[in-house]
Amino acid sequence: MTKYTNQDRFLIAVDCIIFGFDGEHLKLLLIKRGFEPEKDKWSLMGGFVGPQESLDNAANRVLTQLTGLEGVYLEQIQAYGDPLRDPIERTFSVTYFALIDINKYKMQITDQYHAEWFLLKDAPKLIFDHGAMVENAKKKIRYKAALHPILFELLPKKFTIPQLQNLYEDVYNTSIDNRNFIRKLTSTGLLIKLPEKDKSASKKGAFYFKLDKKKYVANFQAFLNFIPNPDKLISG
């Protein structure tokens, strides 16, 4: 009794939908695929799962390979298993989304992967079912961020209110009343105001804030409602 008999075995990959924010727009990190089929076409960063790796391990490895970053926020989205999704050989893929601060991404432009940041709307056509994976990831991040404070993962440790509001506005492609936004934010108690200001983006400068880690963890699972009328915005 060492193996299951008469069963087929398949390749298993992970693919990462890597979201980044630069203070203004939400972006997507894509690579030019390095091998056949579809060599040099735009693709999600992915990789086959190795024999000793868990799915989470594989996703983290793939992400670190591309970005040099560790400890990034990573969450499993969904498994894809259409028999024909990869024309060469049947391959299952488990998708993850990653949230990173673009300014942390300083990968050497040795650039084994020819990675590039794209605005969500300007993203090129992707190989296989990667386009559908990205659409799904966008829905997921919107859904989750309407209820949980995950978007902070896209910001540096110190961030300003205008940055945060830009982020929410970009994710939901909407405009938010600044006074209501601040009121809702402060009511969460999640933010700690710092004495310093960011003067790069405006004349007056905007105060930096940081997350109250304890409250962040405590409130993470709570149902919040950061976004007015998310039901009108979300369609998946």
Partner DNA sequence: AATATTAAACGTCAAACTAACGATTAATAT
Partner DNA sequence: ATATTAATCGTTAGTTTGACGTTTAATATT
Positions touching DNA (CB under 7 A) are 160-162, 177-180, 182-184, 186, 193, 197, 199, 201-207, 225, 228-229
Residue type, 105: Y
Identify what 206 binds: DNA, a copy of itself, none; CB under 5 to 8 Å per kind: DNA
Q: To the nearest whole angstrom, how small is the minimum distance from the Cβ of residue 232 to a copy of itself?
A: 9
Binding string, residues 59-78; x marks residues near a copy of itself by CB under 8 A = -----------------x-x
Identify what 205 binds: DNA, a copy of itself, none; CB under 5 to 8 Å per kind: DNA
Q: What is the DSSP string of 149-170?
A: -GGGGGS-SSEEHHHHHHHHHH
Residue type, 204: K
- The reply to whether 81 sits near a copy of itself by the rule CB under 8 A is yes
Among 71, 88, 122, 204, binds a copy of itself (CB under 8 A): 88
The residues, ordered by sequence, that sit 6+ positions from 40 with a Cβ below 8 Å of its Cβ are 32, 33
Q: Which is nearer to DNA, 65 or 165 (CB)?
A: 165
Residue 94 tokens read as 């488990």
Among 24, 34, 37, 124, binds a copy of itself (CB under 8 A): 37
Distance CA 24, CA 46 (A): 27
In order of 72, 118, 187, 222, the CA distances from 184 in angstroms are 27, 31, 5, 14
Among 24, 34, 54, 177, binds a copy of itself (CB under 8 A): 54
Q: Which is nearer to DNA, 42 or 172 (CB)?
A: 172
Identify what 70 binds: a copy of itself, DNA, none; CB under 5 to 8 Å per kind: none
In order of 10, 15, 143, 159, 166, the CA distances from 44 in angstroms are 20, 6, 21, 28, 25
- The reply to whether 43 sits near a copy of itself by the rule CB under 8 A is no
CB burial class (10 A; 0-12, 13-18, 19+) of residue 26?
A: buried
Stretch that binds a copy of itself, among 49-57, 107-115, 169-177, 191-199 (CB under 8 A): 49-57
Among 32, 69, 92, 169, binds a copy of itself (CB under 8 A): 92
Q: Output b/e per residue, 82-110; b: 16+ Cβ within 10 A.
A: eeeebeeeebbbbbbbbbbbbeebebeee
- The residue ranges that bind a copy of itself (CB under 8 A) are 1-4, 7-12, 36-37, 48-55, 58, 76, 78-83, 88-92, 94, 146, 221-223, 230-231, 234-236
